[in-house]
Amino acid sequence: MRRISIFGATGSIGQSALDLIGRNRGAYQVVALTGGRNVAQLAKDARQFDAEIAVTAFDECLDDLQSALAGSGVRVAAGQAALLEAADIQADWILSAIVGAAGLAPGFRALRHGTTLALANKESLVAAGPILLSEAKRYGARILPVDSEHSAIFQALVGEDISTVERIIITASGGAFRDWPIDKLAGATLAQAQTHPNWDMGQRITIDSASMFNKALEVIETKEYFEISPDKIEVIIHPQSLVHAMVGFKDGGIMAHLGAADMRHAIGYALFWPDRGHIPVERLDFAKIVQLQFRAPDDQRWPALRLAREVIAAGGFNGAVFNAAKETALDGFIDGRIGFMDMAQIVEETLIQLSGDLPNNIVDSGLETVLEIDQMSRQRAAKIIGARQA
Ligand code: NDP
């Protein structure tokens, strides 16, 4: 039986993973489940899956979690240190599905034990890719991609030599505002931004899809994970979200990964890897697919894509600044302090202001340096937002 833990179990990815595990109960033993403020869900799942420990990231949620799990035999803990301790408990497979930079430290900790890390938390690769990969190498741990595009690329590369890859094409639905007139985007509301045409995801990643910050993170994630030159990475708008990514080889052939827009594809591939398991997603009926459309993205509508290329070119800790500034700008948009198109401007301004203050060598640095830069970037981005409001 494989021992598995889920960090961010109460979220969209975590719940989809538990759905798959629930259908294969005999194969898995659930070790740790972690969540944030959704204590009721965490307790329900910990009981249902007979977890060894349930951890909430927030100290103030401990009493509620304790009450909800009283008499269950499930151990209970709270806080950041408890999250790291949960990552220390022996497991064969850990899913990193906490949203944002908060997901970095538990994933890093799991790698130290040589645990296979199924990585949904793309922020880990964006903010600290070279360090994460070198830690995985050092401790003999494997990282499996869970983002749908990266799982698709990973699958297209099975048995291939990466040096024969000419291009990697990641698809983007275009999000909520794909067909809006550009001059209306500045007035887009939160309610409008948090609806996705195809995917059912958490609130933050749905808004990031509308702004294309999600795709910007994925371009950086692709470069880091597959260690491929950025000029080989392309983004294409594909409104149907059925082709998740394509890999083009030097002979001109292209391998495409298709499937329904359901994250259980990518989560299941990582869960069952190196085998393939049954995944209860909708099967595509090609006779009913009227069309697969593709079109080039437009930098004016989605400045985040241009910023991602600039961040890759600048290298080093710029990914950490980019991610932290993006998260802070997103908070600002969710709280109604800034408009939709202001997010990219805040991120760009933060990158410009901090570019001269960053250490040079990321590979020889540790996670602590990344987290310091993350904090510094959040403060700077918040200051820029504050100055705009004044
Ligand atoms: P959700 O917002 O749905 O869930 C986030 C999870 O993280 C919840 O369990 C939440 O707890 C927990 N959490 C929130 N804040 C903290 C914190 N400060 N410390 C510890 N835990 C915290 O996110 P998603 O499931 O949508 O996304 C998770 C990750 O997967 C992200 O990195 C995202 O980019 C990535 N991803 C998501 C996809 C999707 O389809 N949703 C697709 C590809 C990648 P609680 O809810 O209890 O407060």
pLDDT, mean of each 10-residue run, the chain (390 residues): 97 97 96 98 98 98 98 98 98 97 96 97 97 97 98 98 97 94 96 89 93 98 97 97 98 98 97 97 95 95 97 96 98 97 98 92 90 97 94
Listed in sequence order, the residues at least 6 apart from 311 whose beta carbon sits closer than 8 Å to its beta carbon are: 220, 318, 319, 321, 322, 351
Q: Of the candidates 255, 276, 251, which has an alpha carbon nearest to the alpha carbon of residue 265?
A: 276
Sign of CA dihedral 315, 365, 129, 232: positive
pLDDT at 300: 92
Q: For the CA atoms of the chain, what is the radius of gyration? A: 20
Question: From the CA of 98, how far away is ligand 1's center (Å)?
Answer: 4
Question: From the CA of 12, how far away is ligand 1's center (Å)?
Answer: 7
pTM for this model (two decimals): 0.96
Q: Can you tell me which atom of ligand 1 is nearest the CA of 147? A: 43
pLDDT at 390: 81
Question: From the CA of 365, how far away is ligand 1's center (Å)?
Answer: 26
Indicate left, alpha or beta for 196 from its phi (over 0: left) and psi (-120 to 50: alpha).
Answer: beta
- The hierarchical CATH code for the domain 315-390 is 1.10.1740.10
pLDDT at 267: 98
State the DSSP code for 367: H
pLDDT at 360: 81
Q: Identify which of 6, 98, 215, 281 to mutate to test ligand 1's pocket (most ligand atoms within 8 A of the CB).
A: 98
Nearest residue by C-alpha to atom 15 in ligand 1:
36
Q: Can you tell me which atom of ligand 1 is nearest the CA of 122? A: 32
Angle at 256 between CA 250 and CA 260, to 5 degrees: 170
Q: Identify which of 45, 153, 205 to mutate to test ligand 1's pocket (most ligand atoms within 8 A of the CB).
A: 205
Q: Can you tell me which atom of ligand 1 is nearest the CA of 16? A: 25
Nearest residue by C-alpha to atom 9 in ligand 1:
8
pLDDT at 278: 96
The amino acid present at 342, given as its one-letter code, is: D
Q: Can you tell me which atom of ligand 1 is nearest the CA of 200? A: 40
Residue linked to tokens 């990582």? 270
Nearest residue by C-alpha to atom 32 in ligand 1:
121
Listed in sequence order, the residues at least 6 apart from 322 whose beta carbon sits closer than 8 Å to its beta carbon are: 126, 216, 220, 307, 308, 311, 347, 351
pLDDT at 28: 97
pLDDT at 357: 87
Q: Which residues line ligand 1 (CB under 6 A)?
A: 8-14, 35-38, 57, 97-99, 102-103, 120-123, 147, 199, 201-202, 204-205, 263
Q: Identify which of 7, 12, 99 to mutate to test ligand 1's pocket (most ligand atoms within 8 A of the CB).
A: 99
Q: How many CA atoms lie within 13 A of 199 on its CB side?
A: 34
Question: From the CA of 9, how far away is ligand 1's center (Å)?
Answer: 8
Structural domain 2-145, CATH architecture: 3-Layer(aba) Sandwich (3.40)
Nearest residue by C-alpha to atom 13 in ligand 1:
36
pLDDT at 389: 83
Structure tokens at 114: 């040589």
pLDDT at 333: 98
pLDDT at 201: 84
Every domain of the chain and the residues it spans: 2-145, 147-301, 315-390
Structure tokens at 130: 């070279």
> Hey, how many other C-beta atoms are within 10 angstroms of the C-beta on 254?
13
